[in-house]
Structure 1
């Protein structure tokens, strides 16, 4: 592999991982400098929070550079910080790192020691750290019993009539996003996130307050009850003599 091909491969990898193309020139510069290893840094604002990334690269004995993963640090205006190193074989993207550092779970396709592929939800234990300063990663294996689509379909969601709309919602939730949805019987918008640990969904209002799913289902039952009354009223009005 030529240096040019190596650089292009790394640039494609960064783009695929959600870091865009802003680091391309510096990446090319560092590879051509032939250092044994180097780090590229970038920052971004996420609302009122700041996210810092440190991307790691190392040269093999054959002279080829590899992307080894990145460090991510999330800082709040109050001065609180959460950080973690994500390795290349975990396949975590820049956006997924943010979601993990905010406590949400991300669905990934991984490989075991025997090289066999399996699926699992990953979630950081933000309440503890190991001897390396890393948050332990909890895996909820595909056999754990959490089925995202089943959990979603238990909710009284509006505008989920087409497969495309449902697929988009499931894709977003697997990335660890809080996805905005409509709830039947409510005029407001709500935020939905996956909770594989408890095999359910978390629902929040737009201010971030968590809501009970039972309350949402009760609102849907009220709408259904009101809908049943309409035909009856219409029939009665037709029978009234003026």
Structure 2
């Protein structure tokens, strides 16, 4: 592989990982300088929070450069920080790192020691750190029992009329996003996130306040009752036709 091909390969990797193209020139400069290893830094504002990334690269004995992963630091409005190192074999994107540092879970396809692929939800234990200063990562394996599609189907969602809309919602939730949705019986919008640990969904209003499950159950029962009435009305109407 030529230096030019190596540069293009790494630039594509950064773009695919959600870091864009802003570091392309500096990446090329560092590789052409033939350093054994180097770090590229970038930061951005996320609302009232700040997110900083440090991307690590290393040169092999054969002269090829590899992307080894990145450190992410989330600084909250009160100055509190959350940090973690994400390795390249985890396949975590820039946005997924933010979601993990904010405490949400991300769905990934991984490989075990035997090289076999499996699916799992990953979540950082933000309340503790190991001897390396890293947050332990909890995995909720595909056999753990959390079924995202089932959990979503049990919610009284409105305006979810097409397979495309549902696919977009599921894709977003697997990335660890809080996704805006509409609920039956309410004109306000809400935020939905996956909670694999408790095999359920978390629902918030747009200010970030958690909606109690009891309130959601009331809405669900109301929607079921109205659907039953509509069905009975339609059946009576059919029975009256001559």
The TM-score range, normalised by the shorter chain, is over 0.9
What is aligned with 2:184?
184
1:221 and 1:67 mapped to 2: Cα distance?
51
**SS of match in other structure, 2:103:** coil
SS at match of 1:45: strand
How many equivalent residue pairs? 232
Root-mean-square deviation (CA, aligned residues, Å) is 1.5
| Farther off after superposition, 136-145 or 207-216 | 207-216
Mapped to 1, the partners of 2:166 and 2:213 lie a distance apart of: 19
C-alpha deviations, 1:126-185, integer Å up to 9, x for none?
000011100000000000000100000000000112110110000000000000000001
**Structure 2 gap ranges (5+):** 237-242
Task: Indicate the residue corresponding to 2:165 in structure 1.
Answer: 165
- 2:143 aligns to what? 143
How far does residue 215 in structure 1 lie from its aligned partner after superposition?
1.1
TM-score normalised by L of structure 2? 0.92
Q: State the SS of the aligned residue for 2:84.
A: strand
Rounded to whole Å, the distance in 1 between the matches of 2:120 and 2:220 is 32
Shift of 1:223: 4.9
Aligned position for 1:111: 111
1:16 corresponding residue in structure 2: 16
- Is there any run of 5+ residues in structure 1 with no aligned partner, and where? 236-242
Superposition map of 1:1-242 within 5 A: 1-223=1-223, 225=225, 228=229
Is the contact made by 1:183 and 1:216 (CA closer than 8 Å) also made in structure 2? Answer: no
Helix, strand or coil: the match of 1:210?
coil
Deviations 1:179-228 (A, max 9, x none): 00000011110000000000000000111111123312312433555674
Q: Is the 8 A contact 1:186 1:219 kept in 2?
A: no
1: distance between equivalents of 2:39 and 2:70? 9
Cα shift readout 1:38-68 (whole Å, capped 9, x = no counterpart) = 0000000000000000000000000000000
Q: Distance in 2 between matches of 1:54 and 1:19?
A: 11
Aligned-partner Cα distance in 2 for 1:75–1:186 = 34
| d(CA) in 2 for partners of 1:182, 1:42 | 35
Instruction: Give the conservation status (yes or no) of the 8 Å contact 2:105–2:196.
Output: yes
